[in-house]
Structures are given as C-alpha cells and as structure tokens.
C-alpha cells in the first residue's frame, strides 16, 4: 500500500560525524606525527606485549580518566582479542580503531540475556569504532549479543558485527553505521535507537525466515527507528525485513538491494495483528529479486517520492553537521 499513516512523524535524526585524520604506523611504538597532532591522548593495544601500552582493550579503556573530556584514540593492533569489553558512561570521546576488520577481532561466547551477553557494550557518548570485527561465537539457540550501544552519538565505520540472535542491540541513542557488515539469524538488529545504516551489508544466516530487525519503538511520538540507505540485504536461505518488538516499530529501507532471501511477504507481525495499524514499515526504490512488492503484507508501506524525499532530507542532509574532538 502507499504510505498514508504517520506521515507527519518522520523524525529529525541528527548524527554527528566526527572529523578525524587517517593514521599511519611509522615508528617503533606505533605513534605517527599525524596522530600526535590530531589526538590529545593516544593509547596502543598490543596483545603480544611487544609494543604499545596495554595487552587488552579493556585495560586501555580503564586507563582513560573518569569524566574524560579529551579526544582519545585507542589503536588496536591486529589480533584476536578474547575478552568482554565495556565503555562506561563516564568515558566519552573515545575512538576504538583497528587497522582492518579482517584481522582485528574482539570476540566472546556469552549467551542468555541481551544485557549481559554482549561482547562489546558502549554506554559512553561520542564513541567511535572503526576497522574492527566484534563477534559473539555462542551460536544459535540463545540470545547472544555481539555489540550493545546505549549512548548518544555513536558511530561505526567499516566494522563487522557477527553473531546469530540479537547480534546488534542498538538499544538507545542516535547512531550512525557506515560500510559495516552485520550478520545474524534472528532479530539481529534490535532495540529502540534512532539509527542510520548507510552502505551496509545485512547478511542473514537464518534457515527459517528469521527477522532482520526487531525495532522497539513504544510510542507514536518517539523519534526512533532504523533507516537503511544504499544497503545490501543478502543471506543463505530466507528472512523477513523485520517484526515489531514494540507496537510502533519503525523500519525503512531506501535505495537498497534485496536478494532473493527476502521473503515475498517482506515483514512479519510476530503474531500481533493489532500492530498492523501502528507499525511503520516502509520501502522506497529498493531493487533486486527480494524487493518485488507484489506479495508484500498489506500493512507495509510503499513510500511516495514526497515522503522518501522528506526522510532522506532529514536523515542525510542534517547528517552533514560536524563536530571535532
């Protein structure tokens, strides 16, 4: 159906993109001149202990002072870091950076609860991560979060998030994900944040039409939702684009490729038909074999050009705001 409901409730989502310089490792301790000029604090993590300041990522975060106000780069050297990591609320302005997500991994295998199982939990505002793989290796059968984000102005660039159920708990706050890879089987992007996913690959490993998203918007006036722009949806068998964790769940796909793994129905109501009139599930100019809307559920929305333009304006143009550390 063409979108006619909630048209006045597109949120103004402002994402703050932190301006930073690329870095090079050019001397024995990994500190380049550009890093010294750009960052007020630089901490090197090297699990071998041969170079750097700490062997574990958590130790590096612990070394940042409470109530931090200085831009801090934590540079993680390549390796498999087997640890649970928490960035507490009183340590904002941290960038956690690898060199390449293919060879820099934070991994753990906890399960059972979305709030205690995450491999990486972020509670501090103004957090940035780039070039990292964050995974929970527990596997199917239990909730096993790789990344939990519960803070304002969090950004992720060229990262990979891998688990099966509830991979990314995008809990609350305003977040931006660019060129990331997100893999899971059930509700693997969930929570009630206001988040923009740009040029990300969303990969379903579900065997039984598991949902990609479980967005938890609870009230009509909440400016939250998941927005996927220029993304790619792939997988191994079958999936749906989302199901409502909250009664006003809001998810929109714009200009995104959908492979044939996307179920023709597109969306699932999680056995809650009363949500048909309250959820906001929209698509605009998506393409690929999974984007055919001829069999979509009637309560999903085929966005008009006007509505899509308003959405893109509010999520993309305002996103050009910049702050500097």
Q: For 246-263, what is each residue's pLDDT tens digit?
A: 999 999 999 999 999 999
Confidence of residue 315 (pLDDT cuts 50, 70, 90): low
pTM of the model as a whole: 0.88
Q: Report phi then psi at 242, rounded to 5.
A: 175, 165
Reading phi first (left if > 0) and then psi (alpha if -120 to 50, else beta), residue 7 is in: alpha
Domain covering 80-324, topology? Pectate Lyase C-like (2.160.20)
Is residue 189 within 8 Å of residue 213, measured between CB atoms? yes
pLDDT at residue 19 above 70?
Answer: no
Which long-range contacts does 136-139 make (Cβ < 8 Å, 24+ apart)? 136/107, 136/108, 136/109, 136/110, 136/111, 136/162, 136/163, 136/167, 137/107, 137/108, 137/109, 137/163, 138/109, 138/110, 138/111, 138/163, 138/164, 139/164
Per-residue pLDDT, 38: 76
Question: What residue ranges do the domains of the chain occupy?
Answer: 80-324
Mean pLDDT computed over 87-100: 98
CA 49 from centroid of its chain's CA atoms: 31
Query: Which of 104-113, 302-311, 313-322 has the largest mean confidence?
Result: 104-113
Lowest mean pLDDT among 30-34, 135-139, 202-206, 306-310: 30-34
Q: Which residues are catalytic?
A: 166, 187
What confidence tier does 321 reach under pLDDT thresholds 50, 70, 90?
A: very low
């Amino acid at each position: 159906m063409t979108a006619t409901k909630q048209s006045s409730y597109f949120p103004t989502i402002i994402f703050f993109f932190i301006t930073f310089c690329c870095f090079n490792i050019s001397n024995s301790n990994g500190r380049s001149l550009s890093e010294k000029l750009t960052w007020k604090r630089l901490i090197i993590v090297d699990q071998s202990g041969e170079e750097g300041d700490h062997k574990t990522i958590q130790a590096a975060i612990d070394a940042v002072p409470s109530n931090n106000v200085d831009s801090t780069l934590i540079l993680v050297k390549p390796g498999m870091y087997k640890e649970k990591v928490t960035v507490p609320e009183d340590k904002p302005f941290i960038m956690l950076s690898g060199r390449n997500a293919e060879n820099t991994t934070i991994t753990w295998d906890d399960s059972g609860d979305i709030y205690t199982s995450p491999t990486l939990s972020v509670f501090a505002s103004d957090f940035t991560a780039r070039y990292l793989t964050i995974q929970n290796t527990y596997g199917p059968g239990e909730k096993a979060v790789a990344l939990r984000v519960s803070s304002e102005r969090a950004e992720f660039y060229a990262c990979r998030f891998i688990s099966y159920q509830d991979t990314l708990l995008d809990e609350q706050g305003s977040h931006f994900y660019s060129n990331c890879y997100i893999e899971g089987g059930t509700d693997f992007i969930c929570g009630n944040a206001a988040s923009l996913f740009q040029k990300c690959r969303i990969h379903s490993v579900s065997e039984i039409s598991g949902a990609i998203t479980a967005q938890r918007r609870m009230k009509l006036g909440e400016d939250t939702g998941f927005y996927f722009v220029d993304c790619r949806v792939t997988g191994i068998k079958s999936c749906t684009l989302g199901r409502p964790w909250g009664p006003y769940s809001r998810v929109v796909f714009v200009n995104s490729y959908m492979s044939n793994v996307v179920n023709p129905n597109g969306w699932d109501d999680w056995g809650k038909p009363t949500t048909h009139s309250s959820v906001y599930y929209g698509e605009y100019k998506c393409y690929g074999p999974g984007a055919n809307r001829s069999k979509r559920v009637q309560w999903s929305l085929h966005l008009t050009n006007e509505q899509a333009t308003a959405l893109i304006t509010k999520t993309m143009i305002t996103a050009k705001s910049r702050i500097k550390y």
